[in-house]
Structure 1
Amino acid sequence: MLELNASLRKPLWVGTLAVLLLVLVAGCSGSKNAPDQNNGAQQSTNQGANQSANTDKPAVGGTFVYGRPASVTSFDLHNEITSNNAFAIDKVFESLVTFDSKGKIVDWLAKSHSISDDGLTYTFVLRDGLKFSNGTDVTVEDAIFSLQRHLKVGGPLAIAAKVDTIKAKDSKTLVIKLKEPYTPFISELSNFSNGILPNNFGGVSEKEFFKKPVGTGPFVVEKWDPAGDLTFTKNPYYWQEGKPYIDKLVYKLIEDDSQAINQLKAGEVDAVESLALQNANEIKQGADTTVVTNGSWVTEQLFFNTLDKHFSDVHVRRALALALDREGLTKALTFGYAQTANSLLPTAIPYNSNDTIKALNFDINAAKEELAKSAFPKGFMTKLLVASGDSTRAQEAQIIQAAGKAIGINIEIESIELATFRERFFAYDFAVMLNSGQADSPDANSIIAFQTDPKGFSKSYWTHYTNNEVTKLLYEGQKTLDGKDRAEIYSKLLQTLADEVPYIPLYYPDILKGVRSSVNNIVVLPNGSVRFEEVQIKK
């Protein structure tokens, strides 16, 4: 997924893994230090379908106000990829399987699933009693319609598996058959773009349906301003009995980091989605606030447009990578809430190879030698595109600017508002930019495909990077079963990316949410989204 939050995250991918490590998260308690273990062994929240994290009777009712840096502009799950929309879509639509706070695939609308030994047949059995938010029953035909519509539309998170058939075995059982094995398929079915909607949009037009969407999720759209706030109410037909505990969920648009912090402190919002790393300790130590964190599927990166005359030259890209002290940048800007990145893949994703990749580490002399091999040995002038309103990225830009100057690359920082920033890089109207790549589902392919496939939706994350060997390895990784062979494929692929640097991985940030101490049981997912169905607000 593409991250487009104003503060830390985000590429779109929502762009784009069964997490093996750390991930926490989040039962906030009244103790402001309890939820945040700062990368240590972290407290987890049980996400079983009908279990609460508390043994006592839950606190019911109230309105939860969530500060977000970008408004929700669409609920069309098959045509969206940015986090501002994805993390609203997943409150309304749910998928057959999903992932928990540790990145583990779990059954959701399906009470069970199985995969044939040859990797070609996927069988899902729906839960009993499932209803949409309008009270109508959920059927296998609804699931078939939803997946077929996704196949037809394609979209930024298209179903990449070569699907042969999608059929009902009986009234409760869905069978999907593939033409050839596609290992990431089950994890990709867990992302927001594979949510289930009513057959034939419930009898209304697509346009009308997505203005007032009907799904199985814990919340229903009540009031929506695409340029402002969004109000959800609880779904009275939600399949998890008694949930959500809150009556309303409000997404409040707050575009500036400092304003979000001030409103959190003042109690005007119950939590903020995008907590800048430099503000984390302040909020953690606040009298009425705390930090809820999780390991993430995010990699903060510097992206090169390889169509640009300067950055089409691999020696220029390598020179800037060698001139940049990524470890120093990480320590200076992330306050212990991130790890320096050597690999494209975050350490919470299998096959990341972060400890084995030979990255282009900080070496000014080697950087100057590399630039001397390029077509621009005396340096040049260029521009670095960055979204305004993000203080961490503003500082990153200055550090990168200084690194370039040290070897003769003069970088002008071009800071523009978020919407225009998106438009510019979508149109390849940049030379180099700061953004982050993020997986949408628990498989390495989620982020690798988004950033290496020149024929994909984003054309290698708008870098237009093309390497035939990398593309070949990408496709091999998709067809190879999990294990040693798949690990070797991704190791080769990631080393090539480290050598040719179409993007420079900077660091893997933890996901941080600023939260009022009066909030319990907010569950942070490794893709940056939040589960609100178990949230309770202490009276």
Structure 2
Amino acid sequence: MSKKYAFSRKLWVTGICTLLILVLVAGCSGGQSSSGSNENAGQTTNQAGQTEGNSGANPDQAATGGTFVYGRPAAVNSFDLHNQITANNAFAIDKVFESLLSFNSDGEIVDWLAESHSVSEDGLTYTFVLRDGVKFSNGTDVTAEDAVFSLERHLEVGGPLAIAAKVDSVKAQDAKTLVITLQEAYTPFLSELSNFSNGIIPKDFGGVSEEEFFKQPVGTGPFVVESWDPTGDVTFTKNPYYWQEGKPYIDKLVYKLIEDDSQAINQLKAGEVDAIESLALQNANEIKEGADTAVAENGSWVTEQIFFNTLDEHFADVHVRRALAQAIDREGLTNALTFGYAQTATSLLPTAIPYNSNDTVKALEFNVEAAKQELAQSAYPNGFSTKLLIASGNSSRAQAAQIIQAAGKEIGINIEIESIELAAFRERFFAYDFSMMINSGQADSPEANSIIAFQTDPDGFSKSYWTHYTNDEVTKLLREGQKTQDGEERAATYAQLLQILADEVPYIPLYYPEILKGVRSSVDGLIVLPNGSLRFEEVRIGQ
């Protein structure tokens, strides 16, 4: 059986931006047609824009039906799509709820529940026509009124992935046609509509309370929640009314909680799970070369970073942040930890996202003497002691923490590593209860604003990714980038913004990892998305 997974590593494609310039929407988002280049050798693209994997098990030997078990490091604790953001919930929500638009494994925006969409020349009016025959998992028809209810609920709730566009109205023109009118142009709008947070739910929650609805959610996705332990596993069953005829091929999908990545690898090798979500980069070659295992991979929208809490007196000092940035050998760290599955970061934006400016941004270089001189300009010239917060069970971050600890010691900063369980880790940084931490930032859609806004907007949900970093010029450039039509002017705006971040380092970008999933060789048709989620509609389990 073949173990090669031919998922695309190249997400920057010519066709992503072409149509968007015409309709004045976000770079690398919007209703693209075919891409200018495609490295998906041996793959085909279906009508809904999905890229179908042709590897893993021999399709002739793969069967329909059965149960697919997926090992994940954190439990699903909510299906409320408008109030969630972390991957543990997001990548379960997107199995149940679907949006008008989505994106494929190349990072291209595609029509999903919408059969088509159009944008007025002034960029203010968006019209979506729903597909024929789309039903919710309870068998009721999906109408434009359901879309109106869903988007208006999102506008009311706001939440961590709030609709940032200034929406004037959301109206159903008829049963199949939705019209959204904006007060002013907002370039990333189409891209943001592809987020899981803009999934369509039944009008008025189908006649039940919000609380009851999200315990037994009803959506248009390929799967339905059968059983759910908010501290453990989730079992999904096949949605019999799914709009993609014949899919999903499997009968059940189980999200199995495995908090330690070493345990996950052992269970994958033993065949206790069919795939694992958290595959440390240092284990990739071992799994790729295993007798019964393989690696599914894709380029990513992820940047691994060190985050500074600027409410902390030490890291409120830009000289301290700059000193640590120069004390850390990013290239050496990347080479030591990622085994060729990542690229050293110079900019906040990963290379797969447009306007990343990786070739032009001048990041602070590794130079211990310069780092010492920088610290001497701070309020703490003789150094200080601090703590670095990480989530336990992630060996790559544990090793990164040790490298950072050693780098800090070289310039007089004593760093204590504090490793805690993942759920507690999230609670801590949500509460700004950290001095510095290692975490990743990622786009939820193929749009520069997706990361930039989340990590620089002091008024946004995350307050600049819980760093509370505030810079009036950065905020001004952020707003300009959101309104500017795609092209050279928008590129220049983001280049200027990213250079300020590189100079002031409220976070230190370390590397851009590829998305890696460990899978059994008997698995065929697994689709890896660049945000780290998977599509299971096409999955078959070999004999």
On whether the aligned pair clears a TM of 0.5, the verdict is yes
2:331 is aligned to: 327
Note if 1:247 corresponds to 2:223: no
CA separation in 2, counterparts of 1:460 and 1:325?
Answer: 25
Q: Structure 2 residue aligned with 1:440, among 444, 455, 476?
A: 444
Note if 1:48 corresponds to 2:47: yes
Higher relative contact order structure (alpha carbons within 8 Å, sequence separation ≥ 6): 1
8 Å contact from structure 2 (residues 62, 542) kept in 1: no
Specify whether residues 53 and 461 from structure 1 end up closer, same or farther in structure 2 by C-alpha distance, changes over 3 A only: closer
The runs of 4+ residues in structure 1 deviating greater than 6 Å are 36-40, 54-58
2:14 is aligned to: none
Gaps of 5+ in 2: 12-38
For 1:51-450, what aligned pairs fall within 5 Å after superposition? 59-450=63-454
8 Å contact from structure 1 (residues 150, 159) kept in 2: yes
Specify whether residues 45 and 362 from structure 1 end up closer, same or farther in structure 2 by C-alpha distance, changes over 3 A only: farther
1:510 is aligned to: 514
For residues 377-410 of structure 1, the C-alpha deviation after alignment (integer angstroms, 9 at most, x for no partner) is 1111111111111000000000000110001111
CA separation in 2, counterparts of 1:101 and 1:216?
Answer: 20
Specify whether residues 45 and 313 from structure 1 end up closer, same or farther in structure 2 by C-alpha distance, changes over 3 A only: farther
Specify whether residues 360 and 518 from structure 1 end up closer, same or farther in structure 2 by C-alpha distance, changes over 3 A only: same
CA separation in 2, counterparts of 1:53 and 1:398?
Answer: 38
Shift in Å at residue 420 of structure 1? Answer: 1.2
Shift in Å at residue 468 of structure 1? Answer: 0.1
TM-score by length of 1: 0.93
For residues 194-233 of structure 1, the C-alpha deviation after alignment (integer angstroms, 9 at most, x for no partner) is 0000000000000000000000000000011111110000
CA separation in 1, counterparts of 2:394 and 2:5?
Answer: 27
Shift in Å at residue 92 of structure 1? Answer: 0.3
Percent identity of the aligned residues?
Answer: 79
8 Å contact from structure 2 (residues 49, 104) kept in 1: no
CA separation in 2, counterparts of 1:436 and 1:283?
Answer: 23
Q: What do you get for the CA RMSD once the two structures are aligned?
A: 1.6
What is the identity, as a one-letter code, of the residue corresponding to 1:102?
Answer: D
What is the identity, as a one-letter code, of the residue corresponding to 1:260?
Answer: A
What is the identity, as a one-letter code, of the residue corresponding to 1:202?
Answer: G
Shift in Å at residue 50 of structure 1? Answer: 9.1
What secondary structure does 2:63 align onto? Answer: coil
8 Å contact from structure 1 (residues 75, 89) kept in 2: yes
8 Å contact from structure 2 (residues 148, 170) kept in 1: yes
1:31 is aligned to: 2
8 Å contact from structure 2 (residues 344, 512) kept in 1: yes
Gaps of 5+ in 1: 1-29
Specify whether residues 34 and 104 from structure 1 end up closer, same or farther in structure 2 by C-alpha distance, changes over 3 A only: closer
Specify whether residues 282 and 53 from structure 1 end up closer, same or farther in structure 2 by C-alpha distance, changes over 3 A only: closer
1:460 is aligned to: 464
8 Å contact from structure 1 (residues 36, 291) kept in 2: no
CA separation in 2, counterparts of 1:57 and 1:142?
Answer: 41
2:494 is aligned to: 490
Specify whether residues 37 and 82 from structure 1 end up closer, same or farther in structure 2 by C-alpha distance, changes over 3 A only: closer
For residues 146-195 of structure 1, the C-alpha deviation after alignment (integer angstroms, 9 at most, x for no partner) is 00000000000000000001111222110000000000000000010000
What secondary structure does 2:496 align onto? Answer: helix
8 Å contact from structure 2 (residues 62, 522) kept in 1: no
TM-score by length of 2: 0.92
Q: How many residue pairs are counted as aligned between the two chains?
A: 510
What is the identity, as a one-letter code, of the residue corresponding to 2:419?
Answer: S
Shift in Å at residue 48 of structure 1? Answer: 3.0
For residues 61-117 of structure 1, the C-alpha deviation after alignment (integer angstroms, 9 at most, x for no partner) is 111000000010000000000000000000000000000001100000000001111
What secondary structure does 1:319 align onto? Answer: helix
8 Å contact from structure 1 (residues 47, 100) kept in 2: no
Shift in Å at residue 37 of structure 1? Answer: 8.5
